[in-house]
Amino acid sequence: MRLLLLSSISWLATLTAPLITLYTHQFSARDLLMLLGGLFLLFKATMELNARLEGKDHQHHHQRKNAQFWPVVAQIVVLDAIFSLDSVITAIGMVDHLTVMMAAVIISIAVMLLASKPLTSFVNSHPTIVILCLSFLLTIGFSLIAEAFGYVIPKGYLYAAIGFSVIIESLNQFARFNRRRFLSTVRPLRERTAAAVLRMLSGKHEEAELDNHTANLIADNTREGQEVFNQQERRMIERVLGLAQRTVSSIMTSRHDVEYFDLNDPPEKLTQLLTKNMHTRLMVTENSSTDEPLGVIHVMDLLKQQLEKKPLDIRALIQQPLIFPEQASLLMALEQFRQAQTHFAFVVDEFGTIEGIVTLTDVMETIAGNLPVAGEVPDARHDIQQTEEGYWIANGYMPLEDLVSYIPLPIDEKREYHTLAGLLMEYTQRIPQAGEKLQIGDYLFESLEVSSHRIHKVKITPLKPTEKDENLL
């Protein structure tokens, strides 16, 4: 195609006879072709520069993969024709035979094919090269338009400008390489990135911006597959930054799932609870009908009392834990735990009714994930498993903030529910029955186990594109 265009353009370059006159200037077919080609180059280069500088090129990269075939081919043909014309005009007076020009084109194409892979890798790792090449297109387009209007710009000027730009860019790349090597030995990239994030969180916006060299190093590492922070670290940072947005009610253990000891129960009941559970604290009530706890006892205090051979006195060991309103943030709860030097708290609603309990371990698990202890029953709130078929089996008590780390679901920040079961009840406005299916977004939810008005197990299946529009309610 390149040779065919070169042959046809070499013929068009000889069409210097005037066709139209505009403001005393006569335009030939060659002038009109150069004018249109220059305008196309200016338009294409400007659009690409705008996309690169505004970041649209990266955002829509996946959409460009599905671009239509023929528009892309048309743009290639137009660009090839423009540069064929420019090649012919440049070669006039230097080469008298078209065959010699074709041989030169074939050699140049062969060289480009051999060097295409390393050149592509080099350009991808150095984005400034792309900007420089687009600037060359602007220069060439402007020269074509000027020549179409009769202002002949010597090609030597253009080549000198391009060569000077290439030399300056080479010096910049060399300086960048040296600075990168120097910074990597003085202060690790991870440390500089973390320091910039901390400055931003402290409100020092002027100092929080990453310098160009550090930002470029991060981009280079990402392109090379070497992440500055691995996935687990990024997930932990994301959870830490979200502590102020999550409430204690989203991680608490419901009072219905807490075992307690009633002061009216026989001592054998206490022995059974201590044998069955691995907890360090035990909630104590006095009247099973009200189920309102008096406080908690530490198992260590109980053991110390028995080792000292004192009479069993549960009431004397009762301690009052912290009290958190259900809308208190985890960040506030963490600070309260630190100041009070206790790791246990009751969660109450606006009427003062105890809704559940929360511990320091619960708060830490929102950052680091589940932290099971040997012999401890696994926490149902973190019970989610993916099967070989691709669907998930999750516990109804699982907090939505933890669920979205496995399944990308849109959740309302102003919602009044916090668990997967609450999500299903919000959409159905009732308690779903076992086997009932519900479509939310791109997923199909099926209640597997429902008892005592509580949803215990839920099956979550990703929907195929053909299934998303079906009415599954």
Residue range 143-157, pLDDT digits in tens: 878 877 878 777 777
Whole-model pTM?
0.50
Read off the pLDDT of residues 200-227 as tens digits, 9 standing for 90 and up: 655 554 444 445 555 555 555 555 555 5
Q: What's residue 413's pLDDT?
A: 72
- Cα 198 to its chain centre, rounded Å, is 19
Rounded CA separation 460/442 (Å): 10
- pLDDT at position 62: 44
pLDDT attached to residue 459: 92
Q: Which residue has the higher pLDDT, 212 or 48?
A: 48
Q: What confidence category does residue 441 fall into, taking pLDDT thresholds of 50, 70 and 90?
A: confident
Q: Would you state the pLDDT for residue 208?
A: 42
| Mean pLDDT along residues 291-313 | 85
pLDDT value for 322: 92
Q: Which CATH class is domain 380-467?
A: alpha beta
Is residue 439 within 8 Å of residue 445, measured between CB atoms? yes
- In the block, tokens 């429902």 appear at 450
Q: Is residue 63 predicted with pLDDT exceeding 60? A: no
Give the C-alpha separation, 246 to 366, whole Å: 10
* CATH superfamily of the domain spanning 248-368: CBS-domain (3.10.580.10)
Task: Give the pLDDT of residue 323.
Answer: 92
Tokens linked to 375: 């012999």
Does residue 80 surpass a pLDDT of 50?
Answer: no
pLDDT of res. 70: 42
Q: What is the pLDDT of residue 445?
A: 92
For residue 358, name the pLDDT band (cuts at 50, 70, 90): very high
- Sign of the dihedral through C-alpha 138, 140, 143, 145: negative
Please name every residue paired with 359 in a beta bridge, in sequence order, or none if there are none: 344
The span from the CA of 31 to the CA of 22, in Å, is 12
Rounded Cα distance between 464 and 396, Å, is 24
What are 383-404's pLDDT values in tens digits? 788 888 889 999 888 888 888 8
pLDDT above 90 for 340:
no
Beta strands 384-386 and 392-395: pairing type?
Answer: antiparallel
For the cut 70, the answer to whether the pLDDT of residue 460 exceeds it is: yes
Q: If you average pLDDT over every residue of the chain, what do you get?
A: 74
Identify whether the C-beta of residue 72 lies closer than 8 Å to the C-beta of residue 110.
no
For helices 212-223 and 189-201, angle between their N-to-C axes, nearest 10 degrees: 120
Domain ranges of the chain: 2-153, 248-368, 380-467
Going by pLDDT thresholds of 50, 70 and 90, the confidence category of residue 173 is confident
What is the rounded distance in angstroms from the CA atom of residue 308 to the CA atom of residue 287? 29
CA 447 – CA 467 distance, rounded (Å): 19
Q: Is the pLDDT of residue 339 over 80?
A: yes
pLDDT at residue 84 in the model: 45
Question: Which range has the worst mean pLDDT, 183-197, 292-306, 336-350, 357-371?
Answer: 183-197
Check whether 292 has a pLDDT greater than 50. Answer: yes
Confidence of residue 198 (pLDDT cuts 50, 70, 90): low
